[in-house]
Amino acid sequence: MTGTVYLVGAGPGDWRLLTLRGKELLERADTVVTDHLADDRLLAFAPPEAERIYVGKTAGHHTLPQEEINELLIAKAREGRTVVRLKGGDPFVFGRGGEEGAALSRAGIPFEVVPGISSAIAVPAYAGIPVTERGMASSFAVVTGHEDPQKKESAIDWEKLATGTDTLVFVMGVRNLPYITARLMTSGRSAETPAAIIRWGTRSDQTTIVTTLGSAAYEAARKGITPPAIFIVGDVVRCRSRLSWFENRPLSGLTIGITRTRRQASALSARLEELGASCIEIPTIRLDEPSDHYAVLDQAIYHLSSYNWLLFTSSNGVHRFFHRLCEFKEDSRSLGGIRLGVIGSATAEALSTYGLRADLIPPEYRAESLADSLIPHLSRPSKILLVRAEQARNVLPDRLRSAGARVTIAPAYRTLPDRETRDRLIPLLEEHALDLITCTSSSTVTSLLDLLGDRRGLLEGVSLACIGPVTAATCTREGLTPALVASTYTIEGLTQNILDWRRTHHEI
């Protein structure tokens, strides 16, 4: 049976601008064939077992010629696979989607076109520049700045284009700006016409240069602007002074390394990117099963009814505990007579996903505070099950035992350095690409240093943001000085402290 090929527009750069139809198709794809400008995070929507093929093109370098891409799509469809061809922007706006669709049609392969948000409109909008504006511009044209190199002469009617349309948007034209600007001016467009160059539009590292038609090529060269970039010409550029919003966000221009596990990093990244930061996920840790292969935890679950209290110190511990509980073909009802204590709102929220509410959440999200809050509720002898990471501070069990409780420490997971990150982390630090690195646990700190090894000196000049005093103490013990320590030991608290730090940092 022949499969279907879906030509899906990935949008202009911000991966969250993918259409719902595009997401739906990615979720059931067997093969994803992706472009250079399609954000890698979109691939997370595809099933883990889906085949992922990169055929990206950059100026002067093509992973595969277009004809081979066409043949690849046909071959995968003939294998009976559901193929998503993920293309930056819109497939039919200088995306060569028409060529791919025609090739599929000739081969008798069913296909569907899923429009995407075109960079020609979205990128100016993110720069605060509307392509049309009442009383200022009632027409606009989208023009390629990079025509087919096989052409002997330009197919663009420069005489009509230069003055016949209010707003001109050139895509893929940054390398040809001297030629483009010269043709427009010799064809009648004033050199004083407002213009803007927008690089990596809609992404958190978006850069906008406001200039004039006559100065655009010089400014692009002077500031080292390289593709991908949009060039827009017209009076609408003046609107940016009152409509700029994307680059005005409080964390714009700040690049932050996120060291949490791959699964956990996305929530923190999303929050910081909403505020304008560019987040690079560099997970320094990964979670693995404990060294005893859950022996202590399984034994505790087998005798679960004998415990008075069940304590969790992290959301990871909650999820691992319930995973093992399911292995015993049990569920939340097994905890009917047990009181529950957690450190932190995130851990309490994880517990709520299983239909349970914590009986005790300490005022400070740290082990000392949980011990202080729990001890008045203990009766002698209380039996406590503490589910936590394999390697953790012993302050909580030690204090509880001193108060007369019998404590079973049941490791639910262990944290290990994520070795896959090292090859990405070192170049980022060598290139001074990170302004700030978040440290959300002591293990992220120790694993970061473990990954760097004798290259730990690369951290000089990079500010560290710690989620709380325990993590900050680990930094200090390792010879590092945190730039900030969250006063509320949560992701939201860390985010607020980063905002405060950035504000102060800018004032300085």
For the chain, the residue count is 508
DSSP for 44-66 reads GGS-TTSEEEE--EETTEESS-H
Region of residue 256 (left: phi > 0; alpha: psi -120 to 50; beta: else): beta
Beta strands of 309-393 (E only): which ranges? 309-312, 339-342, 383-389
Region of residue 160 (left: phi > 0; alpha: psi -120 to 50; beta: else): alpha
Q: How many whole angstroms separate alpha carbon 370 and alpha carbon 365?
A: 8
Give the pair of three-digit tokens for residue 473.
Answer: 């103490």
Taking the CA atoms of 93, 95, 101 and 103 in sequence, report the sign of the dihedral they define. Answer: positive
Please classify residue 305 by burial: count the beta carbons closer than 10 Å to its beta carbon, then call 0-12 exposed, 13-18 middle and 19+ buried. Answer: exposed
- Closest listed residue to residue 442, CA positions, set 466, 425, 459, 463: 466
Among this protein's residues, is 57 annotated catalytic?
yes
Rg (CA), the chain: 28
Among this protein's residues, is 172 annotated catalytic?
yes
Neighbouring-strand partners of residue 58: 61
Q: Are 414 and 287 in contact (CB under 8 A)?
A: yes
Give the pair of three-digit tokens for residue 165.
Answer: 């349309």
- Closest listed residue to residue 195, CA positions, set 268, 98, 279, 127: 127
Catalytic residue among 35, 39, 90, 166: 35
Strands 383-389 and 406-417 turn out to be parallel
Among this protein's residues, is 435 annotated catalytic?
no
Place of tokens 């406001």: 210
Q: How many whole angstroms separate alpha carbon 240 and alpha carbon 208?
A: 10
N- to C-terminal Cα separation, the chain = 65
Q: Are 341 and 358 in contact (CB under 8 A)?
A: yes
- Closest listed residue to residue 257, CA positions, set 427, 490, 69: 427
SS3 366: coil
286 phi and psi, to 5 degrees? -135, 155
- Cβ atoms within 10 A of the Cβ of 255, count? 18
Catalytic residue among 14, 30, 172, 418: 172
Q: H or E element: which one contains 122?
A: helix 119-126
What are the Cα distances from residue 213, in Å, to 162, 185, 193, 288, 503?
A: 11, 8, 6, 57, 35
Give catalytic residue positions.
35, 57, 172
